[in-house]
Chains A and B, each alone.
Chain A
């Protein structure tokens, strides 16, 4: 039973940290438990040495967070210093950010199907309504979030949608939570894809209407999976946003009426939010009265559509493949002609009840399906591995992870290591190749570890040296 009236303690020994749910260069978010309150929480550990944001900026943003008490704004509990780290205690939002969910959905259901829209209108309306209620509270508090994007919209396991801690999260999420690739290489923290034109121009300053522009971009992101100009480097994004007409759903489209199944009320919402003149953009309260939000449902619906049945594909009348309705079970397999095809479930184990139930039944059966394929390690076997490599500050780190045959893929892990900034993106392939080699010989006793040269080379004042793993990395199996 949670002990509510017990205040949140400010001492490290009162918290038990479980596994990390967000890793970054300067901050890590852990699932944790507060012992005196006997309550789950999230603990964000910000390394004050590595984090360029000054202590004043951090305290300013934590101060702003502590002024918020609203169901749709992340609940800040307390914060305290532990050696060189700042621990920020917040509510646990276990299902990750909407960006993680979008990525997971695309990964589960497959890119081809997702071309016609990632989330359906009902889900988008439900999420955006919650975000707007949070923004309404924010703006009434005289605060501007400045970083509204899918990476900063978090989901709890009961379907609660919360705007992540702003400012701090804006900068920290860019390194901690939102691990979009563009950020890896640029000092320009975070990409400006969500930034309003007046903010980019920095001429006349900006007000809360900048958040309304970002909400319009978020709407496009939830539908198409990415922000309009996500492919371009930051400088190009600034230019496109300032010179072009405001983006819309079609900005991302490659094919004609690719996003046909998104209706007029949704497009009107996006058009009104994405007006160049901030004064013309509606306020959060006005937006909440828009027709589009009559489609919104409650958070239990989000539990159903985003947590339990992420695999279900949105209702789309014109899915390309002519033969029977199929869903990708997420296991990649090479087709006879050598290109990647999804291994679709055999039709007999899907019942023919209505669309929504269909999706639920199929994704449950997909997860349950055990496919036996021998090469050394049996399906479902898990091997524990450690990757020893130097980080951006050239300190040697051990990154532990496990590999389960059948569910994990070597490229998937290598990709996650890159997006988590644990390895340089130039080393994606070399790490995957050596991981592959190691797993293939997992059962031979003598081949328990492999050391290899990295493509990312060495820092200017270093010379490559296998012994000290400068310019090299090592993966070993640990039992």
Chain B
């Protein structure tokens, strides 16, 4: 038992975790003592932070932190923290995310104990995803979820679960900070681990793009603009070659891009152009695609030369369209 050398009485990691758990049990009982328990949780979360980040400018003690982590796993405190997150006060919610993310980064040799802990309890990940439906914990859950997604095992669990398709609603929520948080988590899920997400998109092409089409046609300007930008990144990523080939052989997708090219918003035109160019630059364009381009050849050439954005790319495309054989 290390001597309390820090002046103020310093509880051992085991005591801290035990007190935290007792307070959580109190909250779950939900009786009149619950409010007091919320304060207790706040206090003990501060103590946990004290161990992890060190007191008042001193360095944390690595064996104390290791002990704390071990106690946290064995006492199964993490699931309780996530389950009761919405009952905590404003600062405690942030502390939970801080502690959770810190534990996720802990490595012992090549092993990440917290990642293994979560792999064994996938329902915790689903709870974090569901967190987006409750405004006052949405952003906290988002931050923990994105930390999880940095690890491919956990990202796979979230991606391959049917709740993944909920993101298509979460990114359209009315409150901008929740919707944009959901969008950045959604983006991490399908771009962080290239091969894994390419396989996912390939295997679930129809389901994914039926939902994705709605984002591209959303009334919300930010959703349209962001999903269009993300589509460009997806199609131009070499890992997604099959997905790209399939996408640019569908005439409906080309029509959608040409409509978006005509939008009054400069930014949306800009993003649409970067998708549209993939259709035109495709050396072996399927018949239906070539027909549409030929039918609109003059309009497209005129449109592309009139606006002076990204000229060199345009010059190339204009030449492509003009030289298309009937």
Q: How many A-B residue pairs have CB under 8 A?
A: 58
A86 at the interface (CB under 8 A from B): yes
Category for how many chain A residues contact B:
20 to 34
List residues 85-138 of chain B with CB under 8 A from any CB of chain A: 90-91, 94, 98, 135
Given contacts A48-B267, A79-B177, contact A141 B221 (CB under 8 A): no
A83 at the interface (CB under 8 A from B): yes
A145 to chain B, nearest CB (A): 17
A456 at the interface (CB under 8 A from B): no
A71 to chain B, nearest CB (A): 13
* Total B residues in contact with A, Cβ cutoff 8 Å: 22
Contact indicator A79/B94 (Cβ below 8 Å): no
Q: Mark A80-94, 1 if CB is under 8 A from B, else 0.
A: 110110100000000
B220 at the interface (CB under 8 A from A): yes
Q: Mark B148-181, 1 if CB is under 8 A from A, else 0.
A: 0000000000000000000000000011110011
Contact indicator A86/B222 (Cβ below 8 Å): yes
Contact indicator B94/A81 (Cβ below 8 Å): no
Which residues of A lie under 8 Å from residue B220 when comparing CB positions? 81
A69 at the interface (CB under 8 A from B): yes
Which residues of A lie under 8 Å from residue B135 when comparing CB positions? 7
B41 to chain A, nearest CB (A): 17
C-alpha gap A170/B222 in the complex (Å): 22
C-alpha gap A78/B177 in the complex (Å): 8
C-alpha gap A86/B98 in the complex (Å): 29
Interface of B is mostly: helix
List residues 3-54 of chain A with CB under 8 A from any CB of chain B: 7, 10-11, 48-49
Which residues of B lie under 8 Å from residue A79 when comparing CB positions? 175-177
Q: Mark A332-373, 1 if CB is under 8 A from B, else 0.
A: 000000000000000000000000000000000000000000
Give the nearest-CB partner of A81 in chain B.
B222
Contact indicator A63/B139 (Cβ below 8 Å): yes
Give the nearest-CB partner of A76 in chain B.
B177
Contact indicator A67/B221 (Cβ below 8 Å): no
Q: Which residues from chain B sit less than 8 Å from chain A, CB to CB? A: 90-91, 94, 98, 135, 139, 174-177, 180-181, 183-184, 220-222, 225-226, 265-267
Q: A49-B267, A83-B221, A141-B94 are in contact. List 6 more A-B contacts (CB 8 A).
A: A10-B176, A63-B181, A66-B139, A80-B175, A84-B265, A142-B98
C-alpha gap A66/B176 in the complex (Å): 11
Which residues of A lie under 8 Å from residue B184 when comparing CB positions? 56, 59
20 interchain pairs (CB within 8 A)?
Answer: A7-B135, A10-B174, A10-B176, A48-B221, A48-B225, A48-B267, A49-B267, A56-B180, A56-B184, A58-B180, A59-B177, A59-B183, A62-B176, A62-B177, A67-B94, A67-B139, A78-B175, A81-B176, A86-B222, A142-B98
A55 at the interface (CB under 8 A from B): yes
C-alpha gap A55/B175 in the complex (Å): 14
C-alpha gap A265/B124 in the complex (Å): 54
Which residues of A lie under 8 Å from residue B176 when comparing CB positions? 10, 59, 62, 78-81, 86
Q: A69 is contacted by which of B90, B180, B225, B265 (Cβ under 8 Å)?
A: B90
Which residues of B lie under 8 Å from residue A69 when comparing CB positions? 90-91
Q: Which residues from chain A sit less than 8 Å from chain B, CB to CB? A: 7, 10-11, 48-49, 55-56, 58-59, 62-63, 66-67, 69, 78-81, 83-84, 86, 141-142
C-alpha gap A49/B222 in the complex (Å): 10
Which residues of A lie under 8 Å from residue B225 when comparing CB positions? 48, 55
Which residues of A lie under 8 Å from residue B183 when comparing CB positions? 59
B52 to chain A, nearest CB (A): 12
Contact indicator A62/B180 (Cβ below 8 Å): yes
Contact indicator A11/B174 (Cβ below 8 Å): yes
Give the nearest-CB partner of B143 in chain A.
A63
Which residues of A lie under 8 Å from residue B174 when comparing CB positions? 10-11, 80
Contact indicator B94/A55 (Cβ below 8 Å): no
Contact indicator A81/B177 (Cβ below 8 Å): no
Contact indicator A10/B94 (Cβ below 8 Å): no
C-alpha gap A62/B226 in the complex (Å): 17
Which residues of B lie under 8 Å from residue A66 when comparing CB positions? 139, 177
C-alpha gap A119/B180 in the complex (Å): 42
Contact indicator B180/A55 (Cβ below 8 Å): yes
Which residues of A lie under 8 Å from residue B181 when comparing CB positions? 59, 63
B163 to chain A, nearest CB (A): 22
Give the nearest-CB partner of A59 in chain B.
B180
Give the nearest-CB partner of A10 in chain B.
B174
